[in-house]
Amino acid sequence: DIIIDVNPAGTWNTGGSVSDCGMCNRKLACNQFSSASRISGGGIHGKDISKMDYSGNMMCRYIAKNIVAAGLANTANVDISYSIGVVEPTSINIELDTNKHLEQKLIEWVKNNVGLEPHNIIKRFNPTIPRYAASAMNGNYGKTVYEMQDAKNQILYPWEKLDLVEDLKQIV
């Protein structure tokens, strides 16, 4: 089935720099893995987790990291797209460097088992935790398994947790 959404959030009355400005920050390309990761042109520093370019980005990282930790691939690329005013993602794609036959199974598993709606992502990553100073100083990504044993890092960087691994292994 094809669904076409036209302005699902309603009329867009204000555009340009008036509606889309904020503090200067590094663009996602600087925060991510440079050209190894396909990303939007937005930035994440200084944004709250209710912004989907921030929380959606964290969710993609979280899913991909768990897929790799489960041994299903050496690298995983997770793409999720959203449309303003639509609760469910408009598309989900997972690409693996190996085990390509698992890609569609993983997409279905993620749809059914990981809450990808904005309110579920926000709930999973708990926006009430003040983490901006830590992430500005140490970055948002790249915590090792050893670093994630620290209870403080588990709170500050919940998208680095590997708590989906055992469930993902069952897909094989």
For 87-122, what is each residue's pLDDT tens digit? 899 999 999 999 999 999 999 999 999 999 989 998
DSSP state of 74: S
* Cα distance between residue 49 and residue 32, in whole Å: 17
Residue 53, pLDDT score = 74
What 3-state DSSP class applies to 21? coil
For residues 133-156, average pLDDT: 72
For residues 20-33, average pLDDT: 49
For residues 2-13, average pLDDT: 78
pTM (2 decimals)?
Answer: 0.78
Query: Residue 46: is its pLDDT beyond 70?
Result: no
Nearest partner of 67 among 167, 172, 165, 166, judged by Cα: 165
* Cα distance between residue 49 and residue 129, in whole Å: 11
Residue 67: enclosing H or E segment and its boundaries?
helix 52-69
Query: Residue 78: is its pLDDT beyond 90?
Result: yes
Query: Residue 132: is its pLDDT beyond 60?
Result: yes
* Cα distance between residue 97 and residue 71, in whole Å: 12
* Cα distance between residue 36 and residue 3, in whole Å: 31
Retrieve residue 69's tokens. 């930790």
Are 57 and 150 in contact, with CB atoms under 8 Å apart?
no
Place of tokens 């708990």: 126
- Dump strand ranges (E) for 31-128: 76-81, 91-96
Residue 34, pLDDT score = 45
For residues 139-157, average pLDDT: 74
For residues 29-40, average pLDDT: 52
